[in-house]
Chains A and B, each alone.
Chain A
Amino acid sequence: MNDHMVRMLSLSCAILFFQAASGPARADHFTIDLEVKAPKANRMVHAETLGLGVKTKPRAVLEIQAGDKITIKWILASTAKDVVKDVQIQFYAVKTSKPGDPPPPPREFDKDAILQTALTMDFKPKDKTEGELSLQVNKPGTYLLRLETKGAAVGPDDHEHFATLDVIAR
Protein backbone atom coordinates (compact mmCIF):
# COMPACT_ATOMS: atom_id res chain seq x y z
CA MET A 1 0.00 0.00 0.00
CA ASN A 2 1.59 3.26 -1.09
CA ASP A 3 1.46 6.64 0.73
CA HIS A 4 -1.29 8.00 -1.52
CA MET A 5 -3.65 5.11 -0.71
CA VAL A 6 -2.93 5.45 3.02
CA ARG A 7 -3.74 9.17 2.88
CA MET A 8 -6.99 8.51 0.93
CA LEU A 9 -8.02 5.80 3.42
CA SER A 10 -7.29 8.12 6.36
CA LEU A 11 -9.33 10.91 4.74
CA SER A 12 -12.27 8.56 4.09
CA CYS A 13 -12.19 7.36 7.70
CA ALA A 14 -12.11 10.96 8.92
CA ILE A 15 -15.14 11.86 6.78
CA LEU A 16 -17.07 8.79 7.97
CA PHE A 17 -16.18 9.55 11.60
CA PHE A 18 -17.28 13.20 11.20
CA GLN A 19 -20.61 12.14 9.66
CA ALA A 20 -21.20 9.57 12.39
CA ALA A 21 -20.36 12.10 15.10
CA SER A 22 -22.48 14.90 13.65
CA GLY A 23 -25.53 12.66 13.05
CA PRO A 24 -26.75 12.48 16.67
CA ALA A 25 -25.98 16.19 17.19
CA ARG A 26 -28.45 17.04 14.42
CA ALA A 27 -31.18 14.82 15.91
CA ASP A 28 -34.49 16.63 16.33
CA HIS A 29 -35.35 17.26 19.94
CA PHE A 30 -38.59 19.17 19.29
CA THR A 31 -41.52 18.47 17.01
CA ILE A 32 -43.77 21.28 15.79
CA ASP A 33 -47.21 21.20 14.17
CA LEU A 34 -48.12 24.70 13.00
CA GLU A 35 -51.54 24.95 11.36
CA VAL A 36 -53.18 28.03 9.85
CA LYS A 37 -56.90 27.88 9.06
CA ALA A 38 -58.58 30.43 6.80
CA PRO A 39 -62.26 30.47 5.78
CA LYS A 40 -61.54 28.68 2.48
CA ALA A 41 -58.21 26.89 2.94
CA ASN A 42 -55.76 25.71 5.54
CA ARG A 43 -52.16 24.62 5.72
CA MET A 44 -50.02 22.70 8.21
CA VAL A 45 -46.23 22.83 8.42
CA HIS A 46 -43.77 21.03 10.64
CA ALA A 47 -40.42 21.55 12.33
CA GLU A 48 -37.20 22.33 10.54
CA THR A 49 -33.84 22.85 12.15
CA LEU A 50 -31.77 26.00 12.12
CA GLY A 51 -28.04 25.43 12.45
CA LEU A 52 -24.75 25.81 10.65
CA GLY A 53 -24.81 24.04 7.28
CA VAL A 54 -28.53 23.16 7.48
CA LYS A 55 -30.46 24.07 4.34
CA THR A 56 -34.04 25.24 4.82
CA LYS A 57 -36.91 23.99 2.64
CA PRO A 58 -38.86 26.27 0.28
CA ARG A 59 -41.53 27.98 2.39
CA ALA A 60 -45.14 26.75 2.15
CA VAL A 61 -47.78 29.27 1.02
CA LEU A 62 -51.41 29.79 2.07
CA GLU A 63 -53.56 32.17 0.02
CA ILE A 64 -56.39 34.09 1.70
CA GLN A 65 -58.55 37.16 1.05
CA ALA A 66 -57.70 40.47 2.75
CA GLY A 67 -60.10 40.86 5.66
CA ASP A 68 -60.16 37.12 6.42
CA LYS A 69 -59.88 36.03 10.03
CA ILE A 70 -57.34 33.21 10.36
CA THR A 71 -56.81 30.80 13.23
CA ILE A 72 -53.25 29.79 14.06
CA LYS A 73 -52.73 26.62 16.10
CA TRP A 74 -49.44 25.14 17.18
CA ILE A 75 -48.19 22.28 19.29
CA LEU A 76 -44.51 22.09 20.17
CA ALA A 77 -43.36 18.93 21.96
CA SER A 78 -40.03 17.73 23.29
CA THR A 79 -38.62 14.46 21.99
CA ALA A 80 -35.35 14.95 23.88
CA LYS A 81 -34.23 12.41 26.46
CA ASP A 82 -33.14 15.07 28.93
CA VAL A 83 -34.64 18.25 30.37
CA VAL A 84 -34.15 21.30 28.15
CA LYS A 85 -34.37 24.34 30.42
CA ASP A 86 -35.43 27.93 29.79
CA VAL A 87 -36.53 27.55 26.18
CA GLN A 88 -38.33 30.56 24.72
CA ILE A 89 -41.04 29.80 22.16
CA GLN A 90 -41.64 32.76 19.89
CA PHE A 91 -44.32 33.20 17.25
CA TYR A 92 -44.69 36.14 14.92
CA ALA A 93 -46.58 37.29 11.84
CA VAL A 94 -44.88 40.11 9.97
CA LYS A 95 -45.48 41.75 6.57
CA THR A 96 -42.73 41.11 4.03
CA SER A 97 -42.19 42.36 0.50
CA LYS A 98 -42.45 38.96 -1.22
CA PRO A 99 -42.88 35.24 -0.48
CA GLY A 100 -39.67 33.55 0.65
CA ASP A 101 -38.14 36.72 2.09
CA PRO A 102 -35.83 36.00 5.05
CA PRO A 103 -37.25 36.57 8.54
CA PRO A 104 -36.53 39.99 10.08
CA PRO A 105 -33.90 40.33 12.81
CA PRO A 106 -35.36 39.51 16.22
CA ARG A 107 -36.41 42.30 18.56
CA GLU A 108 -38.16 42.06 21.89
CA PHE A 109 -41.39 43.63 20.64
CA ASP A 110 -41.36 44.15 16.88
CA LYS A 111 -43.53 47.12 15.94
CA ASP A 112 -43.76 45.85 12.35
CA ALA A 113 -45.25 42.52 13.43
CA ILE A 114 -49.04 42.28 13.31
CA LEU A 115 -48.85 39.51 15.90
CA GLN A 116 -45.98 38.47 18.15
CA THR A 117 -46.01 36.11 21.12
CA ALA A 118 -43.41 34.56 23.41
CA LEU A 119 -43.39 32.20 26.35
CA THR A 120 -40.70 30.49 28.42
CA MET A 121 -40.75 26.93 29.67
CA ASP A 122 -38.61 24.00 30.84
CA PHE A 123 -39.21 20.88 28.74
CA LYS A 124 -38.97 17.50 30.38
CA PRO A 125 -39.13 14.51 27.99
CA LYS A 126 -42.53 14.48 26.18
CA ASP A 127 -43.57 17.87 27.62
CA LYS A 128 -45.48 20.06 25.19
CA THR A 129 -46.89 23.55 24.87
CA GLU A 130 -49.80 24.67 22.72
CA GLY A 131 -51.11 27.92 21.35
CA GLU A 132 -54.22 29.03 19.50
CA LEU A 133 -54.54 32.57 18.17
CA SER A 134 -57.02 34.39 15.98
CA LEU A 135 -55.92 37.18 13.71
CA GLN A 136 -57.70 39.35 11.16
CA VAL A 137 -55.50 40.15 8.17
CA ASN A 138 -56.89 43.47 6.97
CA LYS A 139 -54.42 44.58 4.31
CA PRO A 140 -53.37 42.73 1.14
CA GLY A 141 -49.77 41.57 1.05
CA THR A 142 -47.40 38.78 2.02
CA TYR A 143 -47.06 37.85 5.68
CA LEU A 144 -44.37 35.61 7.12
CA LEU A 145 -45.61 33.42 9.98
CA ARG A 146 -42.96 31.68 12.04
CA LEU A 147 -42.81 29.68 15.29
CA GLU A 148 -39.30 29.18 16.65
CA THR A 149 -37.31 28.06 19.66
CA LYS A 150 -34.70 30.24 21.36
CA GLY A 151 -32.31 28.66 23.82
CA ALA A 152 -32.80 25.06 22.68
CA ALA A 153 -29.34 24.97 21.10
CA VAL A 154 -27.44 23.77 24.17
CA GLY A 155 -24.97 20.95 24.80
CA PRO A 156 -24.92 18.40 21.99
CA ASP A 157 -28.13 19.90 20.53
CA ASP A 158 -26.45 22.62 18.49
CA HIS A 159 -29.50 23.88 16.65
CA GLU A 160 -32.84 25.63 17.06
CA HIS A 161 -36.21 24.52 15.64
CA PHE A 162 -38.77 26.43 13.65
CA ALA A 163 -41.84 26.02 11.48
CA THR A 164 -42.82 28.69 8.99
CA LEU A 165 -45.08 29.59 6.09
CA ASP A 166 -46.08 32.57 3.98
CA VAL A 167 -49.67 33.83 4.00
CA ILE A 168 -50.59 35.84 0.91
CA ALA A 169 -53.65 38.07 1.33
CA ARG A 170 -55.11 39.07 -2.08
Chain B
Amino acid sequence: MEKHILPDIRHLQKLDVYEAHGGYKAFRKALQMKPEDVTEEVKKSGLKGRGGACFPTGLKWTFMPKSRGAGSQTTGQSEKPKYLCVNGDESEPGTFKDRQIFEFNPHLMIEGTLIAAYAMGVIISYIYVRGEYGKWIKMIDKALHDAYAKGYIGQNILASGFSTEVIVHRGVGAYICGEESALMNSIEGHRGYPRVKPPFPAQNGLWGCPTTINNVETISNVPLIINNGWEWYSKIGAAKHPGPILVGVSGHVNKPGVYELPTGVPLLEIIHKHAGGVPGNKGIKAVIPGGSSTMVLRGDRLEGVCMDAESLKAAGSSVGTAGLIVMDEDTDLIKVITRIAKFYYHESCGQCTPCREGTGWLWKVLKRFELGEGRQEDIDILMEVANNIEGNTICALGEAAAWPVQSMIRRFREEFEKRVKAPQHKPVEAVVV
Protein backbone atom coordinates (compact mmCIF):
# COMPACT_ATOMS: atom_id res chain seq x y z
CA MET B 1 0.00 0.00 0.00
CA GLU B 2 1.09 3.52 -0.66
CA LYS B 3 2.01 5.19 2.59
CA HIS B 4 0.22 8.38 3.53
CA ILE B 5 1.00 9.09 7.18
CA LEU B 6 4.66 8.16 7.10
CA PRO B 7 5.66 8.21 3.42
CA ASP B 8 9.26 7.53 2.47
CA ILE B 9 10.20 11.11 1.70
CA ARG B 10 13.47 12.47 2.97
CA HIS B 11 13.31 15.55 5.21
CA LEU B 12 9.52 15.61 5.14
CA GLN B 13 9.67 17.19 8.59
CA LYS B 14 10.87 20.38 6.91
CA LEU B 15 8.15 22.77 5.87
CA ASP B 16 9.42 23.40 2.31
CA VAL B 17 9.71 19.66 1.62
CA TYR B 18 6.26 19.07 3.09
CA GLU B 19 4.82 21.83 0.89
CA ALA B 20 6.60 20.50 -2.17
CA HIS B 21 4.75 17.22 -1.61
CA GLY B 22 1.33 18.82 -1.42
CA GLY B 23 1.54 19.94 2.20
CA TYR B 24 -1.04 22.43 3.51
CA LYS B 25 -3.08 21.97 0.32
CA ALA B 26 -5.79 20.25 2.32
CA PHE B 27 -5.89 23.16 4.78
CA ARG B 28 -6.16 25.67 1.94
CA LYS B 29 -8.96 23.58 0.47
CA ALA B 30 -10.75 23.36 3.81
CA LEU B 31 -10.61 27.14 4.24
CA GLN B 32 -12.62 27.42 1.01
CA MET B 33 -15.26 25.04 2.38
CA LYS B 34 -17.97 25.68 4.93
CA PRO B 35 -16.78 24.45 8.34
CA GLU B 36 -19.76 22.07 8.66
CA ASP B 37 -18.90 20.58 5.26
CA VAL B 38 -15.40 19.80 6.51
CA THR B 39 -16.87 17.97 9.49
CA GLU B 40 -19.31 16.16 7.21
CA GLU B 41 -16.46 14.99 4.99
CA VAL B 42 -14.60 13.56 8.00
CA LYS B 43 -17.81 11.98 9.28
CA LYS B 44 -18.55 10.28 5.97
CA SER B 45 -14.97 9.01 5.62
CA GLY B 46 -15.55 6.61 8.51
CA LEU B 47 -12.37 7.71 10.34
CA LYS B 48 -12.31 6.33 13.86
CA GLY B 49 -10.11 7.47 16.71
CA ARG B 50 -6.69 5.86 16.77
CA GLY B 51 -6.04 6.46 20.46
CA GLY B 52 -7.81 3.33 21.64
CA ALA B 53 -11.53 4.04 21.94
CA CYS B 54 -12.23 3.87 18.19
CA PHE B 55 -14.89 6.56 18.40
CA PRO B 56 -16.03 8.04 15.04
CA THR B 57 -14.05 11.27 14.69
CA GLY B 58 -16.48 13.28 12.56
CA LEU B 59 -19.33 12.44 14.91
CA LYS B 60 -17.24 13.63 17.85
CA TRP B 61 -16.72 16.96 16.10
CA THR B 62 -20.49 17.41 15.63
CA PHE B 63 -20.93 17.38 19.42
CA MET B 64 -19.24 20.77 19.58
CA PRO B 65 -21.57 23.81 19.62
CA LYS B 66 -22.20 24.92 16.06
CA SER B 67 -21.96 28.64 16.64
CA ARG B 68 -18.80 30.31 15.41
CA GLY B 69 -17.70 31.67 18.75
CA ALA B 70 -14.92 33.77 20.03
CA GLY B 71 -12.32 32.36 17.66
CA SER B 72 -14.13 33.32 14.50
CA GLN B 73 -14.12 36.85 13.29
CA THR B 74 -17.37 36.31 11.41
CA THR B 75 -19.68 36.52 14.42
CA GLY B 76 -19.94 38.19 17.78
CA GLN B 77 -17.66 37.40 20.68
CA SER B 78 -20.24 36.51 23.29
CA GLU B 79 -19.91 32.71 23.42
CA LYS B 80 -17.35 30.64 25.22
CA PRO B 81 -14.16 29.93 23.32
CA LYS B 82 -13.68 26.43 21.92
CA TYR B 83 -10.57 24.32 22.29
CA LEU B 84 -8.93 21.32 20.71
CA CYS B 85 -6.50 19.00 22.47
CA VAL B 86 -4.34 16.78 20.33
CA ASN B 87 -3.48 13.81 22.49
CA GLY B 88 0.16 12.82 22.17
CA ASP B 89 0.55 11.46 25.69
CA GLU B 90 1.31 8.06 24.12
CA SER B 91 2.11 6.05 27.24
CA GLU B 92 0.32 2.76 26.68
CA PRO B 93 2.97 0.04 26.86
CA GLY B 94 3.60 -1.30 23.36
CA THR B 95 2.69 2.02 21.70
CA PHE B 96 5.28 4.12 19.89
CA LYS B 97 3.53 5.44 16.79
CA ASP B 98 2.86 9.11 17.52
CA ARG B 99 6.55 9.54 18.10
CA GLN B 100 7.09 8.64 14.41
CA ILE B 101 4.68 11.37 13.33
CA PHE B 102 6.40 13.94 15.57
CA GLU B 103 9.75 13.04 14.09
CA PHE B 104 9.04 12.32 10.46
CA ASN B 105 5.82 14.16 9.56
CA PRO B 106 4.96 16.80 12.17
CA HIS B 107 3.40 19.13 9.63
CA LEU B 108 0.79 16.52 8.74
CA MET B 109 -0.33 16.58 12.36
CA ILE B 110 -0.26 20.38 12.43
CA GLU B 111 -2.23 20.58 9.18
CA GLY B 112 -4.82 18.16 10.54
CA THR B 113 -5.02 20.20 13.73
CA LEU B 114 -5.64 23.39 11.74
CA ILE B 115 -8.36 21.75 9.63
CA ALA B 116 -10.06 20.46 12.77
CA ALA B 117 -9.73 23.87 14.40
CA TYR B 118 -11.37 25.48 11.37
CA ALA B 119 -14.16 22.89 11.24
CA MET B 120 -15.04 23.41 14.91
CA GLY B 121 -14.19 27.10 15.31
CA VAL B 122 -11.41 26.41 17.79
CA ILE B 123 -9.30 29.34 19.03
CA ILE B 124 -6.44 27.40 20.61
CA SER B 125 -5.21 23.85 20.05
CA TYR B 126 -2.99 22.20 22.64
CA ILE B 127 -0.74 19.42 21.43
CA TYR B 128 -0.24 17.50 24.68
CA VAL B 129 2.95 15.48 24.44
CA ARG B 130 4.28 13.14 27.10
CA GLY B 131 7.08 14.72 29.09
CA GLU B 132 9.62 12.02 28.28
CA TYR B 133 9.46 13.08 24.61
CA GLY B 134 11.50 16.25 25.26
CA LYS B 135 13.54 15.65 22.14
CA TRP B 136 10.45 15.27 20.00
CA ILE B 137 8.80 18.32 21.57
CA LYS B 138 11.67 20.36 20.19
CA MET B 139 10.94 18.95 16.73
CA ILE B 140 7.26 19.85 16.97
CA ASP B 141 8.14 23.30 18.27
CA LYS B 142 10.38 23.86 15.27
CA ALA B 143 7.61 22.78 12.89
CA LEU B 144 5.09 25.02 14.66
CA HIS B 145 7.51 27.94 14.54
CA ASP B 146 7.88 27.50 10.77
CA ALA B 147 4.13 27.16 10.24
CA TYR B 148 3.55 30.37 12.22
CA ALA B 149 6.22 32.16 10.18
CA LYS B 150 4.60 31.00 6.94
CA GLY B 151 1.20 32.31 8.06
CA TYR B 152 -0.56 28.94 8.45
CA ILE B 153 -1.19 29.66 12.12
CA GLY B 154 -2.10 32.95 13.77
CA GLN B 155 -4.35 35.84 12.86
CA ASN B 156 -6.38 35.96 9.64
CA ILE B 157 -4.75 32.85 8.22
CA LEU B 158 -4.09 33.07 4.46
CA ALA B 159 -6.46 36.06 4.36
CA SER B 160 -9.39 33.78 5.14
CA GLY B 161 -10.61 35.68 8.18
CA PHE B 162 -9.99 32.58 10.30
CA SER B 163 -7.64 32.87 13.26
CA THR B 164 -6.35 30.12 15.49
CA GLU B 165 -3.36 29.27 17.64
CA VAL B 166 -1.47 26.04 18.29
CA ILE B 167 0.87 25.32 21.19
CA VAL B 168 2.70 22.28 22.54
CA HIS B 169 1.93 21.45 26.16
CA ARG B 170 4.49 19.20 27.81
CA GLY B 171 3.23 16.40 30.03
CA VAL B 172 5.03 15.38 33.22
CA GLY B 173 5.14 11.61 33.19
CA ALA B 174 1.68 10.25 33.92
CA TYR B 175 -0.01 7.55 31.87
CA ILE B 176 -3.38 8.68 33.14
CA CYS B 177 -3.05 11.99 31.31
CA GLY B 178 -3.74 10.11 28.09
CA GLU B 179 -7.31 9.84 29.38
CA GLU B 180 -9.00 12.85 27.85
CA SER B 181 -10.44 14.46 30.97
CA ALA B 182 -7.25 13.88 32.96
CA LEU B 183 -5.40 15.47 30.07
CA MET B 184 -7.57 18.57 30.37
CA ASN B 185 -7.03 18.73 34.12
CA SER B 186 -3.32 18.46 33.51
CA ILE B 187 -3.41 21.37 31.04
CA GLU B 188 -5.33 23.38 33.62
CA GLY B 189 -2.46 22.81 36.03
CA HIS B 190 -4.01 20.16 38.23
CA ARG B 191 -3.13 16.61 39.10
CA GLY B 192 -4.10 14.31 36.25
CA TYR B 193 -7.41 13.19 37.70
CA PRO B 194 -10.07 12.01 35.25
CA ARG B 195 -13.43 13.75 35.50
CA VAL B 196 -16.83 12.18 35.91
CA LYS B 197 -18.76 12.15 32.62
CA PRO B 198 -21.21 13.61 31.80
CA PRO B 199 -20.72 16.48 31.28
CA PHE B 200 -18.74 15.56 28.20
CA PRO B 201 -15.81 17.69 26.98
CA ALA B 202 -17.74 19.03 23.99
CA GLN B 203 -20.00 20.87 26.46
CA ASN B 204 -17.74 21.24 29.45
CA GLY B 205 -14.07 20.77 28.71
CA LEU B 206 -11.07 23.00 29.33
CA TRP B 207 -12.05 25.70 31.83
CA GLY B 208 -15.68 24.67 31.33
CA CYS B 209 -15.55 25.50 27.61
CA PRO B 210 -16.39 23.25 24.66
CA THR B 211 -13.39 21.06 23.93
CA THR B 212 -12.58 18.17 21.62
CA ILE B 213 -9.76 15.71 22.20
CA ASN B 214 -8.30 13.75 19.28
CA ASN B 215 -5.31 11.45 19.12
CA VAL B 216 -2.22 12.57 17.16
CA GLU B 217 -2.63 9.80 14.59
CA THR B 218 -6.35 10.49 14.21
CA ILE B 219 -5.78 14.15 13.51
CA SER B 220 -3.01 13.26 11.05
CA ASN B 221 -5.55 11.36 8.95
CA VAL B 222 -7.67 14.45 8.43
CA PRO B 223 -5.60 16.10 5.65
CA LEU B 224 -5.76 12.85 3.64
CA ILE B 225 -9.55 12.88 3.81
CA ILE B 226 -9.83 16.52 2.76
CA ASN B 227 -7.31 16.11 -0.06
CA ASN B 228 -8.71 12.91 -1.51
CA GLY B 229 -12.33 12.96 -0.44
CA TRP B 230 -14.26 10.76 1.97
CA GLU B 231 -15.03 8.12 -0.66
CA TRP B 232 -11.38 7.49 -1.41
CA TYR B 233 -10.59 7.25 2.28
CA SER B 234 -13.48 4.97 3.13
CA LYS B 235 -12.25 2.40 0.61
CA ILE B 236 -8.89 1.91 2.33
CA GLY B 237 -8.78 -1.19 4.51
CA ALA B 238 -11.64 -2.59 6.56
CA ALA B 239 -15.06 -1.21 5.59
CA LYS B 240 -16.23 -0.42 9.12
CA HIS B 241 -12.90 0.88 10.35
CA PRO B 242 -11.19 2.31 7.28
CA GLY B 243 -7.96 4.11 6.62
CA PRO B 244 -4.26 3.66 7.08
CA ILE B 245 -3.23 2.61 10.57
CA LEU B 246 0.16 2.76 12.26
CA VAL B 247 0.82 -0.67 13.68
CA GLY B 248 3.63 -0.78 16.22
CA VAL B 249 5.07 -4.28 16.46
CA SER B 250 7.23 -5.16 19.44
CA GLY B 251 8.37 -8.17 21.42
CA HIS B 252 9.52 -11.37 19.79
CA VAL B 253 9.78 -10.42 16.12
CA ASN B 254 12.80 -10.06 13.87
CA LYS B 255 11.95 -6.55 12.71
CA PRO B 256 10.10 -4.62 15.38
CA GLY B 257 8.90 -1.18 14.39
CA VAL B 258 5.99 0.94 13.20
CA TYR B 259 4.34 -0.21 9.99
CA GLU B 260 1.79 1.86 8.12
CA LEU B 261 -0.79 -0.57 6.78
CA PRO B 262 -4.41 -0.45 5.76
CA THR B 263 -6.73 -1.54 8.56
CA GLY B 264 -7.89 -5.12 8.28
CA VAL B 265 -4.49 -6.71 7.66
CA PRO B 266 -4.28 -10.17 9.28
CA LEU B 267 -2.21 -10.20 12.46
CA LEU B 268 -0.21 -13.18 11.19
CA GLU B 269 0.65 -11.27 8.02
CA ILE B 270 1.84 -8.33 10.13
CA ILE B 271 4.00 -10.59 12.25
CA HIS B 272 5.45 -12.81 9.52
CA LYS B 273 5.53 -10.61 6.44
CA HIS B 274 6.07 -7.12 7.76
CA ALA B 275 7.82 -7.69 11.09
CA GLY B 276 10.01 -10.49 9.73
CA GLY B 277 8.59 -13.37 11.76
CA VAL B 278 9.55 -14.72 15.16
CA PRO B 279 13.27 -15.15 15.91
CA GLY B 280 14.40 -18.76 15.62
CA ASN B 281 11.14 -19.56 13.82
CA LYS B 282 9.58 -20.23 17.18
CA GLY B 283 5.86 -20.60 17.61
CA ILE B 284 3.71 -17.75 18.91
CA LYS B 285 2.34 -18.34 22.37
CA ALA B 286 0.35 -15.13 22.73
CA VAL B 287 -0.15 -11.66 21.31
CA ILE B 288 -1.49 -8.46 22.80
CA PRO B 289 -3.01 -6.72 19.78
CA GLY B 290 -3.42 -3.08 20.77
CA GLY B 291 -1.25 -2.02 23.68
CA SER B 292 -1.01 -3.60 27.12
CA SER B 293 -4.60 -2.82 28.14
CA THR B 294 -6.17 -4.90 25.37
CA MET B 295 -7.07 -8.52 25.95
CA VAL B 296 -4.39 -11.08 25.27
CA LEU B 297 -5.02 -13.57 22.45
CA ARG B 298 -3.75 -17.13 22.13
CA GLY B 299 -1.14 -17.65 19.46
CA ASP B 300 -2.95 -20.76 18.21
CA ARG B 301 -6.14 -18.78 17.62
CA LEU B 302 -4.84 -16.05 15.33
CA GLU B 303 -5.92 -17.50 12.00
CA GLY B 304 -8.20 -14.97 10.33
CA VAL B 305 -7.86 -12.31 13.03
CA CYS B 306 -7.23 -8.89 11.50
CA MET B 307 -6.07 -5.48 12.72
CA ASP B 308 -9.41 -3.70 12.76
CA ALA B 309 -12.04 -2.98 15.36
CA GLU B 310 -14.61 -5.50 14.13
CA SER B 311 -12.29 -8.45 13.68
CA LEU B 312 -10.52 -7.96 16.99
CA LYS B 313 -13.80 -7.57 18.83
CA ALA B 314 -14.99 -10.84 17.36
CA ALA B 315 -11.75 -12.45 18.51
CA GLY B 316 -12.36 -11.21 22.04
CA SER B 317 -10.03 -8.23 22.19
CA SER B 318 -9.81 -4.74 20.76
CA VAL B 319 -7.72 -2.67 18.39
CA GLY B 320 -6.59 -0.21 21.08
CA THR B 321 -3.59 1.72 19.82
CA ALA B 322 -2.59 -1.05 17.39
CA GLY B 323 0.53 -1.71 19.46
CA LEU B 324 1.02 -5.40 18.72
CA ILE B 325 3.12 -7.23 21.30
CA VAL B 326 4.28 -10.68 20.19
CA MET B 327 5.31 -13.39 22.63
CA ASP B 328 7.01 -16.58 21.47
CA GLU B 329 6.42 -20.09 22.77
CA ASP B 330 9.05 -19.80 25.50
CA THR B 331 7.56 -16.67 27.06
CA ASP B 332 6.75 -16.70 30.75
CA LEU B 333 3.25 -15.24 30.57
CA ILE B 334 2.96 -14.99 34.34
CA LYS B 335 5.95 -12.67 34.35
CA VAL B 336 4.36 -10.67 31.54
CA ILE B 337 1.02 -10.22 33.27
CA THR B 338 2.70 -9.41 36.59
CA ARG B 339 4.67 -6.64 34.90
CA ILE B 340 1.55 -5.29 33.21
CA ALA B 341 -0.32 -5.33 36.53
CA LYS B 342 2.54 -3.47 38.19
CA PHE B 343 2.27 -0.78 35.53
CA TYR B 344 -1.43 -0.14 36.16
CA TYR B 345 -0.83 -0.13 39.90
CA HIS B 346 1.85 2.50 39.41
CA GLU B 347 -0.27 4.60 37.08
CA SER B 348 -3.61 4.49 38.92
CA CYS B 349 -4.34 8.09 39.88
CA GLY B 350 -5.84 7.04 43.18
CA GLN B 351 -9.24 8.68 42.93
CA CYS B 352 -11.38 5.53 42.84
CA THR B 353 -11.01 2.89 45.53
CA PRO B 354 -11.54 -0.20 43.31
CA CYS B 355 -8.69 0.88 41.04
CA ARG B 356 -6.37 2.38 43.67
CA GLU B 357 -6.57 -0.70 45.91
CA GLY B 358 -7.47 -3.35 43.36
CA THR B 359 -4.55 -2.74 41.02
CA GLY B 360 -2.16 -3.21 43.94
CA TRP B 361 -3.88 -6.42 45.03
CA LEU B 362 -3.71 -7.78 41.47
CA TRP B 363 -0.02 -7.07 41.31
CA LYS B 364 0.76 -8.59 44.70
CA VAL B 365 -1.20 -11.78 44.06
CA LEU B 366 0.34 -12.12 40.61
CA LYS B 367 3.77 -11.66 42.11
CA ARG B 368 3.07 -14.74 44.22
CA PHE B 369 2.53 -16.74 41.04
CA GLU B 370 5.66 -15.30 39.50
CA LEU B 371 7.61 -16.52 42.51
CA GLY B 372 5.96 -19.92 42.34
CA GLU B 373 4.07 -19.27 45.54
CA GLY B 374 0.57 -19.05 44.05
CA ARG B 375 -2.35 -20.79 45.73
CA GLN B 376 -5.18 -22.48 43.87
CA GLU B 377 -7.74 -20.05 45.30
CA ASP B 378 -5.63 -17.08 44.14
CA ILE B 379 -6.81 -17.65 40.57
CA ASP B 380 -10.38 -16.95 41.63
CA ILE B 381 -9.26 -14.06 43.83
CA LEU B 382 -7.54 -12.44 40.86
CA MET B 383 -10.66 -12.83 38.75
CA GLU B 384 -12.86 -11.43 41.49
CA VAL B 385 -10.66 -8.40 42.11
CA ALA B 386 -10.46 -7.68 38.37
CA ASN B 387 -14.23 -8.02 38.02
CA ASN B 388 -14.72 -5.62 40.91
CA ILE B 389 -12.53 -2.98 39.28
CA GLU B 390 -14.11 -3.26 35.84
CA GLY B 391 -16.97 -0.81 35.40
CA ASN B 392 -16.60 0.65 38.87
CA THR B 393 -14.23 3.52 38.21
CA ILE B 394 -14.47 7.05 36.84
CA CYS B 395 -12.28 6.33 33.85
CA ALA B 396 -11.21 3.41 31.70
CA LEU B 397 -7.94 2.79 33.55
CA GLY B 398 -9.99 0.39 35.65
CA GLU B 399 -10.83 -1.68 32.59
CA ALA B 400 -7.29 -1.29 31.29
CA ALA B 401 -6.04 -2.93 34.49
CA ALA B 402 -8.74 -5.59 34.65
CA TRP B 403 -8.87 -6.81 31.04
CA PRO B 404 -5.32 -8.12 30.71
CA VAL B 405 -5.65 -10.12 33.93
CA GLN B 406 -9.12 -11.47 33.12
CA SER B 407 -8.12 -12.47 29.59
CA MET B 408 -4.86 -14.01 30.71
CA ILE B 409 -6.67 -16.23 33.21
CA ARG B 410 -9.43 -17.11 30.77
CA ARG B 411 -7.09 -17.99 27.92
CA PHE B 412 -4.05 -19.29 29.75
CA ARG B 413 -5.42 -20.76 32.96
CA GLU B 414 -2.98 -23.65 32.72
CA GLU B 415 -0.07 -21.21 33.11
CA PHE B 416 -1.42 -20.13 36.46
CA GLU B 417 -2.14 -23.66 37.59
CA LYS B 418 1.42 -24.67 36.79
CA ARG B 419 2.62 -22.03 39.23
CA VAL B 420 0.44 -23.07 42.12
CA LYS B 421 2.71 -24.10 44.92
CA ALA B 422 2.40 -27.79 45.65
CA PRO B 423 0.76 -28.22 49.06
CA GLN B 424 3.29 -29.10 51.69
CA HIS B 425 2.11 -32.41 53.12
CA LYS B 426 3.54 -33.29 56.45
CA PRO B 427 4.60 -36.91 56.52
CA VAL B 428 2.02 -38.94 58.36
CA GLU B 429 3.54 -40.80 61.23
CA ALA B 430 3.03 -44.48 61.10
CA VAL B 431 0.70 -45.68 63.72
CA VAL B 432 1.95 -48.71 65.44
CA VAL B 433 -0.80 -50.79 66.77
A binds B: no
